[in-house]
Structure 1
């Protein structure tokens, strides 16, 4: 895991997780992914499929699939949806860069009702670069 990913995870633990205690059972995840995907103007959302337990990652997200356990915090599911929206679909692993964070923050604001000012300020305090104008790579698709 690179420095940026570690910093993003630490920021989430400190800022995002305490502001969203909601959890999504696996049986409802696809409906939530479909809703978020459509509300962002996208078609053909990734499929949600079961993820084998792992110490390394709770869930994973790519353009084609989001792998998740039996239940996830909703902010984690939004994190994975942001990965799916910013996955270059060229076989390279997703990252936690400025465009990913821009899309993710937008999802947190629109779908988890988080304060955009607080998120921007906390990202600056954490030294995380983000692109507030970032859009899903598939916009218009």
Structure 2
């Protein structure tokens, strides 16, 4: 998905800075990230979690990135950013299709924030609506809709 098509991207980042970051519980170190990703994936009833890799040193404009296959991060990052990247892994297919920061991504991200940062659902959903962000509260991982061939 191109950035031009990812209409909510900037608004999602602004919403995170304003609303999500204060709920964060601390940093996740690279050495602990794979175990956390594996545990969350298993808790969601899924198999084959993305592999955690180091973010290339030349990546200066992004804190982390993820798709269905891998999650790349620096030496450490805030817990809510790891959940953000896990939502990208959940909302993309093995073939690379994704809705960027769209309704599926935000619905999955919201569920992760509710479950793992313990943000009350009503407060979280209201904050998304107040930020005029489109989200699908019933979103399912994209790869469950499009199994690999």
Q: Pick from 40, 47, 71 the counterpart of residue 44 of structure 2.
A: 40
Tell me the secondary structure at the aligned position of residue 49 of structure 1.
strand
Length, aligned pairs only: 141
| Aligned-pair CA distance for 1:88 | 2.4
Contact 1:78 1:108 (C-alpha < 8 Å) held by counterparts: yes
Tell me the secondary structure at the aligned position of residue 8 of structure 2.
helix
Contact 1:88 1:94 (C-alpha < 8 Å) held by counterparts: no
| Aligned-pair CA distance for 1:14 | 0.4
Alpha-carbon distance between aligned partners in 1 of 2:44 and 2:117, rounded to the nearest angstrom: 14
Alpha-carbon distance between aligned partners in 1 of 2:76 and 2:20, rounded to the nearest angstrom: 18
Q: Confirm whether residue 96 of structure 1 aligns to residue 96 of structure 2.
A: no
Contact 1:78 1:107 (C-alpha < 8 Å) held by counterparts: yes
Alpha-carbon distance between aligned partners in 1 of 2:15 and 2:28, rounded to the nearest angstrom: 21
Alpha-carbon distance between aligned partners in 1 of 2:98 and 2:136, rounded to the nearest angstrom: 19
- The runs of 5 or more residues in structure 1 that have no matched partner are none
Superimposed CA distance per residue, residues 92-128 of structure 1 (whole angstroms, 9 cap, x where no aligned partner):
4650000110000000111111111111111111100
Q: Over aligned residues, Cα RMSD in angstroms?
A: 1.7
| Aligned-pair CA distance for 1:139 | 4.2
Tell me the secondary structure at the aligned position of residue 106 of structure 2.
helix
Alpha-carbon distance between aligned partners in 1 of 2:49 and 2:93, rounded to the nearest angstrom: 15
Alpha-carbon distance between aligned partners in 2 of 1:44 and 1:88, rounded to the nearest angstrom: 13
